[in-house]
Structure 1
Amino acid sequence: MIQVKDLKKVYGGVIVVNIPQLEITKGESIGLVGNNGAGKTTLFRIILDLIRPDTGQVKSNGELVAGGENWKNYTGAYLDEGFLIDYLTPEEYFYFIGGLHQLSRAHVDDFLGRYTEFFNGEILKRGKYIRDLSKGNQAKVGIVSCLLQNPELFMLDEPFANIDPTTQFRLKNLIREQTANGATTIVSSHDLNHITDVCDRILLMEKGKIIKDLATNSSTLDELEHYFAIGQTDTPAVELNIDPEENH
């Protein structure tokens, strides 16, 4: 579904994304992990055509995302509160998003009824603008607005931050449901437990490069925890079970 080739982005002389090749197939559940500055959010923004790479390209279902339009119809993404319209109430925002996808207010209301537990009485009918919500509740609005679009590609950047443990548990179930329904999900997180719990494939980024590409199994969490515990850097690709010929 997503094809990345010869992708590079440079800021101030520093290479922040450097991915020669990456393919994500339809229906995969991808977890993206790495320390701050690893390039995760920059990669997300390139995939969503929010910023342009210096070289290389990203395709979604065979279409170049740069300048393309069709991929937007099946992509739901929430990276941060900047994706929201903060002077609207949550209800107004949901109706706005629904209208973009030709959904009636009645349809939107029926849809929102499925997320009563996820909202936990903190979102709807509170008389608040989105800007007055906590960051965690803003994230709830952003995440559910993505689901309202019934996305084939579902992307979340650090969705477990700023939300309470109960909501984290419910969010994991929502992500699993999307995968079970055939959506391709790409989720970044600093929480290794959550990301290995909901994703079937883990991509580890460091200094803009994908240095590990792991199928999630019983030892994946231990392997990632060991990596971050020792502060491993600049490790040769062969030691990380990555084929150098495939990535250069």
Structure 2
Amino acid sequence: MIEVKNLKKVYNGVTVVNVPSLHISKGESIGLVGNNGAGKTTLFRMILDLIRADSGEVLSNGVPVAGGEAWKNYTASYLDEGFLIDYLTPEEYLYFIGGLHQQNKAQVDEYLTGLTDFFNGEILKKGKYIRDLSKGNQCKVGVGACLLQKPELLMLDEPFANIDPSTQFRLKNILKDQNKNHGVTTIVSSHDLNHVTDVCERILLMEKGVIIKDIATSSSTLAELEEYFGVGQTAQITQPVDVVIDKEENH
């Protein structure tokens, strides 16, 4: 579904993303982990054509995302509150998103009933603009809008960061359901190693813009990641690794 070829981005002489090769198959659940400044969000934004690469390309279903439109029809993402229209109420925003995907108000309302537990009575019919919500509740609106689109590819950047433990648990169940029962390809960036290893079957570890580990999630993955980050290891990176591992090869 997603293929990265010789992707590189440089800011002020510093290479922030350098990924020679990466393949993500349809239906995979991918976790992206790394310290601050590792390049995770920049990579996300390049996959979404929000930042143009200095060299290389990203393909979605075999078609370059740069300048393309077709991939937008099956891709949903929430990276931060900048993805929202903050002068709207949550209802207005969700109806707007639904309308972009040929859904009328009744269809949106019907879908949102399935998110009642996730919203936890804090989002709808509160008479607030999105800008007046907490960051955690803004995240709920963003995730809800993504799910409303019924995407084939779902990308979330740090979705667990500002939400309470109960909502984290519900979000994990949603992500598992989207992947396992609906075949949605999910790519989730998170600093929370417990959450990301729980919901993702494959973990990509980034350091200084480079994917240095590609791990098929197992019972030992969390311990492996905790050991890596716990000892304060910063890999001495001289050459980036090629990452071309299909879903079938991980099992």
Q: TM-score range by the shorter chain?
A: over 0.9
Cα deviations across residues 130-189 of structure 1 (Å, max 9, x unaligned)?
Answer: 000000000000001000000000000000011000000000001001101101000000
Q: 1:4 to 1:245 in 2, by over 3 A?
A: closer
Aligned pairs for 1:67-86 within 5 A? 67-86=67-86
For residues 173 and 236 of structure 2, the distance between their equivalents in structure 1, rounded to whole angstroms, comes to 35
Structure 1: which amino acid aligns with 2:170?
R
Structure 2: which amino acid aligns with 1:64?
P
1:246: Cα distance to partner? 6.5
Q: Which segments of 5 or more consecutive residues in structure 1 lack a partner in the other structure? A: none
For residues 113 and 171 of structure 2, the distance between their equivalents in structure 1, rounded to whole angstroms, comes to 16
Cα deviations across residues 76-104 of structure 1 (Å, max 9, x unaligned)?
Answer: 10000000000000000000000100101
Aligned pairs for 1:86-101 within 5 A? 86-101=86-101
Q: Which residue of 2 aligns with 1:232?
A: 233
For residues 54 and 34 of structure 1, the distance between their equivalents in structure 2, rounded to whole angstroms, comes to 22
Q: Secondary structure at the match of 2:51?
A: coil
Answer yes or no: is 1:195 the counterpart of 2:215. no
Q: 1:245 to 1:224 in 2, by over 3 A?
A: closer
* Paired residues of 2:30 and 2:186 also in contact (CA < 8 A): yes
* Paired residues of 1:89 and 1:130 also in contact (CA < 8 A): yes
Structure 1: which amino acid aligns with 2:107?
H
1:234: Cα distance to partner? 2.6
Structure 2: which amino acid aligns with 1:76?
A
Q: Which residue of 2 aligns with 1:118?
A: 118
Q: Which residue of 1 aligns with 2:127?
A: 127
Q: Which residue of 1 aligns with 2:103?
A: 103
Cα deviations across residues 113-142 of structure 1 (Å, max 9, x unaligned)?
Answer: 111111111000000000000000000000
Structure 2: which amino acid aligns with 1:160?
F
Structure 1: which amino acid aligns with 2:172?
K
1:232: Cα distance to partner? 1.4
For residues 155 and 100 of structure 1, the distance between their equivalents in structure 2, rounded to whole angstroms, comes to 19
Q: Which residue of 2 aligns with 1:210?
A: 211
For residues 245 and 234 of structure 1, the distance between their equivalents in structure 2, rounded to whole angstroms, comes to 16
Q: Which residue of 1 aligns with 2:247?
A: none
Q: Could you tell me the TM-score, scaled by structure 2's length?
A: 0.94
For residues 7 and 31 of structure 2, the distance between their equivalents in structure 1, rounded to whole angstroms, comes to 19
Q: Which residue of 2 aligns with 1:65?
A: 65
Report sequence identity in percent. 74
1:235: Cα distance to partner? 4.2
User: How many aligned positions are there?
Assistant: 243
Q: 1:245 to 1:168 in 2, by over 3 A?
A: closer
Answer yes or no: is 1:12 the counterpart of 2:12. yes
For residues 143 and 4 of structure 1, the distance between their equivalents in structure 2, rounded to whole angstroms, comes to 25
Q: Secondary structure at the match of 2:115?
A: helix
* Paired residues of 1:211 and 1:237 also in contact (CA < 8 A): no
For residues 140 and 234 of structure 1, the distance between their equivalents in structure 2, rounded to whole angstroms, comes to 35
For residues 223 and 7 of structure 2, the distance between their equivalents in structure 1, rounded to whole angstroms, comes to 30
For residues 6 and 191 of structure 1, the distance between their equivalents in structure 2, rounded to whole angstroms, comes to 29
Q: Which segments of 5 or more consecutive residues in structure 2 lack a partner in the other structure? A: 245-251
For residues 82 and 103 of structure 2, the distance between their equivalents in structure 1, rounded to whole angstroms, comes to 23
For residues 144 and 51 of structure 2, the distance between their equivalents in structure 1, rounded to whole angstroms, comes to 24
For residues 159 and 74 of structure 2, the distance between their equivalents in structure 1, rounded to whole angstroms, comes to 20
* Paired residues of 1:119 and 1:140 also in contact (CA < 8 A): yes
Q: Which residue of 1 aligns with 2:248?
A: none
Q: Could you tell me the TM-score, scaled by structure 1's length?
A: 0.95
* Paired residues of 2:214 and 2:243 also in contact (CA < 8 A): no
Q: Which residue of 1 aligns with 2:187?
A: 186
Q: 1:178 to 1:237 in 2, by over 3 A?
A: farther
Q: Secondary structure at the match of 1:4?
A: strand
Aligned pairs for 1:133-212 within 5 A? 133-180=133-180, 181-212=182-213
